[in-house]
Amino acid sequence: MRMIKHGIVHPRTVHVAYDTICLLHNGAILVGLWENDYKFKLNKDYLLQLDDKLFSMRGVDRAMRAMILAAGYGERMRPLTDHCPKPLLTAGDKALIEYQLLALRRADIEDVVINVAHMGEQIEQRLGDGSSYDLSIQYSRESSPLETAGGIANALELLGEAPFLVINSDIWCDYPISRLPQQIDGMAHLILVDNPAHHPSGDFILTPSGKVVAASGSEAPLTFSGIGIYRPELFQSVAKATALPLAPLLIDAMRRGEVTGAHHQGAWFDIGTPERLYELDQRLSAKAKTGKIL
């Protein structure tokens, strides 16, 4: 077998001794808890399909907290957002934000913070304390939207001292949250996707070493998906209740080599206009019939 930093990859046969389990994490086979002797003969592709099940079986604490960004005005979605906050707009048979809640629950992440501002009372009334989703939801209330970094900084007391996950409420993505690392090297770990038609220039470069850097020169950038893990220290310089975008903080951290990332090549949709919401609704309706997103 071939060894790498995080474990063993591409095993042909792995014999796991008593009290251990073979599981996948960041493309690598690791060893964790199991209840009896077992012999595995699995390849990496098969493990990818079983990834979520392995994480839920392994008995290891995944108590990472998550934040869903839901405080924006949704100006580009008007008139749909004149009387309804953007996260509650429906695609398929669910509100946009519900897809994020269900993805978090599948990954065994139970503690969720949602920032709210524009018509935030509707979000709180709809989602409540999260018990109907088998989650625990707390709300970080903003008198007016604080943008991404400002909103995260405002919620730090609820997010704790460990790295935490942040997801935009206005995306749809089939990335399995359970594959995200619990510990990160640096200040941030970003999930990047192929550039959509409405954003062909992309955002950042993912280097062969896994570092994420600002786009420059002729290198082909990727688009930030709106899914990332952050250390709270990244936001400690941001005064509470101060509006601030995320990009300047990320670019500063990139200059210090403190941002890593991964490239997700599956389905991802940024629901920024009524037309894109309609497109997602049509695709999810088709998915209900065919079993896959088109």
294 lies in some domain:
no
13 lies in some domain:
yes
**Total length of the chain:** 294
Whether 154 and 242 map to the same domain: the answer is yes
Whether 23 and 120 map to the same domain: the answer is no
pLDDT computed for residue 289 by the predictor: 64
Whether 81 and 28 map to the same domain: the answer is no
**Structural domain boundaries, residue 53:** 2-57
55-60 contacts at long range (C-beta below 8 A, 24 or more positions apart): 55/23, 55/107, 55/108, 55/178, 56/108, 56/178, 57/21, 57/23, 58/21, 58/23, 58/32, 58/33, 59/32, 59/33, 60/32, 60/33
Tell me the pTM.
0.77
Q: What is the pLDDT of residues 223-256, one digit of tens each?
A: 999 999 999 999 999 998 899 999 999 999 999 9
Q: What is the pLDDT of residues 46-84, one digit of tens each?
A: 444 444 444 433 333 457 999 999 999 888 999 999 999
Check which CATH number belongs to the domain holding 144 and give it.
3.90.550.10
pLDDT computed for residue 1 by the predictor: 31
Whether 168 and 97 map to the same domain: the answer is yes
> What is the Cα–Cα distance from 89 to 157, expressed in whole angstroms?
29
DSSP code of residue 50: T
Q: State the total domains in the chain.
A: 2
Whether 125 and 100 map to the same domain: the answer is yes
Whether 211 and 145 map to the same domain: the answer is yes
**C-alpha dihedral (188, 189, 194, 198), degrees to nearest 10:** -30
**Residues whose CB is less than 8 angstroms from the CB of residue 202 and which lie 6 or more positions away in sequence, other chains included:** 195, 215, 220, 221, 222, 223
Q: DSSP string of 157-172?
A: HHH-SS-EEEEETTEE
Whether 147 and 7 map to the same domain: the answer is no
pLDDT computed for residue 207 by the predictor: 93
Q: Which of 57, 75, 103 is the last residue of a domain?
A: 57
Q: Enumerate residue ranges in the chain where pLDDT < 50.
A: 1-61
pLDDT computed for residue 27 by the predictor: 43
Whether 92 and 119 map to the same domain: the answer is yes
